A and B are shown apart, each in its own frame.
Chain A
Amino acid sequence: MTVDEVREAILNILSDIAPDEDMSSIRDEENLRDQIDLDSMDFLDIVMELRKRFNIEVPEKDYEHLATMSGCVSYLQPLLKDRQLAS
């Protein structure tokens, strides 16, 4: 997966979790929680979806890397670089 594809994979997860939110307006450097209404329950879902879709385990100490979109991409891209963005 390229950086853009990783970003798309994360957006896919977010749109499943928060279907009513507008994902096109997300600013990559800003906190996701402040832009779309995410709570700790949603956060669990992001981690669970990563596990389900890509078999990636994100340990709790690494959750801080998932706070912004750019943080998500730089944390996940090395883990996903050999993977395909499944449809």
Chain B
Amino acid sequence: MDYDVIIIGSGLSGLAAGIRLAQFDTRVLIVEKHTVAGGLNSYYVRKNRTFDVGLHAMTNYSKKGDRSSPLGKLLKQLRFRHEDFRLRQQHQSEIRFPGHSLSFTNEFEFFEAEVARQFPSQIDGFRKLVKIIEEFDELNLDDRRSLPSRPVLESCLSDPVFIDMLFCPLMFYGSAREREMDFYQFVIMFKSIFMQGLAKPEGGMKYILDLMVERYRKLGGELRLGAEVAAIDTAGGEVKAVTLAGGERLEVSKVISSVGYVETLLLTDPPCPGQESLERGQLSFMESLFVLGSPARDLGYDKSIVFFSTRLRFDYRVPEGLTDPASGVLCCPDNFDLPQVSGEGLLRLTSLANFALWDRLPRREYIQAKKEERARALDSLLTFFPDFRDSVLFLDSFTPKTIKKYTGHLNGAVYGAPNKIKSGATPIKNLYICGTDQGFLGIVGATLSGITIANLHVLKEWTGS
């Protein structure tokens, strides 16, 4: 046996699982297809500037000393101090619809007061909903329970626009399903965004990924970059080995894969029956980055994140065209409590996008379409935001095709498949999944996913329980 556990993918979930296992002297190897660590949340460098991808903001912010919050659990399980993550809080974010605006900060009372002021007829129902959310056990790993959110919201609230305004940020930051969310996911996202809050790590995703890689290696974990998995070899329905693209075969007891559920089953050799019938994720995004000559707030952008819809009803679905500019997310990293060094500003604009349409464009048309769709997204944004186009020093866009290339997710589906496998189990013995398709969402969620699966399927088994 070459390793006790091989982890596929060095995103946050894979690294977190790796740290947990290496903490307890497991012979563990992480294999990463790309030459740098990172997954859905990562970074890239252009013209001497480092840009985060995935990370608009980290959700689930909680203060130092809170050990039972998701962030607190993550820190203690990986044995980091709160200050190690260098989290800097948001100023204020906003959900903006035609004629309606709801602001929120990292203090839930602020949001509640905002709801009472903007939607006085809904506040009693909102408090009822919050009570249901507080009492819900969203971290239960039982896969059999499934409850859609809309009926729950409609049992408390009567204003469809207010319901859509609540859905808007939660769907944009985590829903793999069109127009609907499983209620446990709604609860995870509601708590992580409204009740806990938003922050950014100083130094961005590169800092967090470097921190985790350094810890993992220090504990004796092995990480191979540029090592793509060709197959997960099984025999008699059980994992035997992992074969790398170069032909090297590594014998192993257990495999934890963070590449997605269907994506993992597609790697098994012989092929695992049944994956053809599984629903695949479809929801993807286009995002444009605008480097500005001055901080965004000088141009009239004072919010940290704005979730917007230019139509009264929000429609979260795969657009019929390349993108849907009618709604989106605007992120202003300048408007977090981060030190301002460069004097430059940055805006990031995200819209829903259609993978299949982007994927079939020939190269020349693809490049042209990026420019056109970016312009459409801007035109839509500028219907209720000040114009900043004269201040742009540098811009770049990525599409669902880029997301597929770097994350390996089928269809560039940012949040993976609609049906999550909370237990992490697969039909193959000793093959488990963690990350997006396990169902804990966001940066803290992904990290907790790796921790949970490592605990449940490896460490607990060794303790004989």
Task: Tell whether, in the assembled complex, residue A16 and residue B79 are in contact, meaning their CB atoms are under 8 Å apart.
Answer: yes
Within 8 A of B (CB), among A42-84: 42, 44-45, 47-48, 51-52, 57-60, 63
- Assuming the A-B contacts A42-B76, A48-B24, are A37 and B463 also in contact, with contact meaning beta carbons closer than 8 angstroms in the complex? no
- Point out the residues of chain B lying under 8 angstroms from A52, CB to CB: 24-25
Can you give 17 contacting A-B residue pairs, CB < 8 Å?
Answer: A17-B76, A18-B67, A37-B67, A39-B68, A39-B73, A41-B455, A44-B463, A45-B77, A48-B23, A48-B24, A48-B462, A51-B24, A51-B463, A52-B24, A52-B25, A59-B465, A60-B465
Within 8 A of B (CB), among A1-52: 16-20, 37, 39, 41-42, 44-45, 47-48, 51-52
Query: For the complex, would chain A's binding face be called helix, strand, loop or mixed by DSSP majority?
Result: helix
Using an 8 Å CB-CB cutoff, how does the interface string of B52-76 with A read, 1 for contact, 0 for none? 0000000000000101100001001
Task: Tell whether, in the assembled complex, residue A47 and residue B463 are in contact, meaning their CB atoms are under 8 Å apart.
Answer: yes
- Point out the residues of chain B lying under 8 angstroms from A47, CB to CB: 463, 465
Counting CB contacts under 8 A, is B236 at the interface? no
- Point out the residues of chain A lying under 8 angstroms from B73, CB to CB: 39, 41
Binding site for A on B (CB under 8 A): 23-25, 65, 67-68, 73, 76-77, 79, 81, 451, 455, 459-460, 462-465
- Point out the residues of chain B lying under 8 angstroms from A18, CB to CB: 67, 76
- Point out the residues of chain B lying under 8 angstroms from A41, CB to CB: 73, 76-77, 451, 455
State the 6 A-B residue pairs at the shortest beta-carbon distance, nearest first: A60-B465, A47-B463, A48-B24, A37-B67, A59-B464, A52-B24
- Point out the residues of chain A lying under 8 angstroms from B68, CB to CB: 37, 39
Task: Tell whether, in the assembled complex, residue A48 and residue B459 are in contact, meaning their CB atoms are under 8 Å apart.
Answer: yes
Q: Please, which residue of chain A has its CB at the minimum distance from the CB of B73?
A: A41
Cα A42 to Cα B67 in complex, Å, equals 10
Task: Tell whether, in the assembled complex, residue B76 and residue A57 are in contact, meaning their CB atoms are under 8 Å apart.
Answer: no
- Point out the residues of chain B lying under 8 angstroms from A39, CB to CB: 67-68, 73
- Point out the residues of chain A lying under 8 angstroms from B81, CB to CB: 19
- Point out the residues of chain A lying under 8 angstroms from B464, CB to CB: 57, 59-60
Cα A18 to Cα B79 in complex, Å, equals 9
Report the tally of A-B residue pairs with Cβ distances under 8 A. Answer: 45
Known: A19-B81, A48-B463, A58-B463. 13 other contacts (CB 8 A): A39-B73, A41-B73, A41-B76, A42-B76, A44-B455, A44-B459, A44-B460, A48-B462, A51-B24, A57-B463, A57-B464, A59-B464, A59-B465
Q: Please, which residue of chain A has its CB at the minimum distance from the CB of B465?
A: A60
Chain A interface: which size bin? 20 to 34
Cα A60 to Cα B451 in complex, Å, equals 20
Q: Please, which residue of chain B has its CB at the minimum distance from the CB of A37?
A: B67
Cα A19 to Cα B82 in complex, Å, equals 11
Binding site for B on A (CB under 8 A): 16-20, 37, 39, 41-42, 44-45, 47-48, 51-52, 57-60, 63
Cα A60 to Cα B463 in complex, Å, equals 8
- Point out the residues of chain A lying under 8 angstroms from B462, CB to CB: 48, 51
- Point out the residues of chain A lying under 8 angstroms from B25, CB to CB: 52
Cα A51 to Cα B23 in complex, Å, equals 12
Q: Please, which residue of chain B has its CB at the minimum distance from the CB of A63?
A: B465
- Point out the residues of chain B lying under 8 angstroms from A17, CB to CB: 76
- Point out the residues of chain B lying under 8 angstroms from A42, CB to CB: 76
Cα A42 to Cα B79 in complex, Å, equals 11
Q: Please, which residue of chain A has its CB at the minimum distance from the CB of B72?
A: A37
Chain B's nearest CB lies how many Å from the CB of A16?
7
- Assuming the A-B contacts A41-B73, A57-B464, A60-B464, are A20 and B65 also in contact, with contact meaning beta carbons closer than 8 angstroms in the complex? yes
Cα A59 to Cα B73 in complex, Å, equals 24
Cα A59 to Cα B24 in complex, Å, equals 17
Q: Please, which residue of chain B has its CB at the minimum distance from the CB of A17?
A: B76
Cα A77 to Cα B79 in complex, Å, equals 27
Q: Please, which residue of chain A has its CB at the minimum distance from the CB of B456?
A: A44
Chain B's nearest CB lies how many Å from the CB of A3?
24
- Point out the residues of chain B lying under 8 angstroms from A16, CB to CB: 79
Q: Please, which residue of chain A has its CB at the minimum distance from the CB of B448?
A: A41
Q: Please, which residue of chain A has its CB at the minimum distance from the CB of B451?
A: A41
Cα A59 to Cα B451 in complex, Å, equals 22
Cα A57 to Cα B24 in complex, Å, equals 13
- Point out the residues of chain A lying under 8 angstroms from B77, CB to CB: 41, 45
Chain A's nearest CB lies how many Å from the CB of B434?
16
- Point out the residues of chain B lying under 8 angstroms from A44, CB to CB: 455, 459-460, 463
- Point out the residues of chain A lying under 8 angstroms from B455, CB to CB: 41, 44
- Point out the residues of chain A lying under 8 angstroms from B79, CB to CB: 16, 19
Cα A39 to Cα B448 in complex, Å, equals 15
Chain A's nearest CB lies how many Å from the CB of B60?
16
Chain A's nearest CB lies how many Å from the CB of B418?
28
Cα A37 to Cα B65 in complex, Å, equals 10
Cα A47 to Cα B459 in complex, Å, equals 10
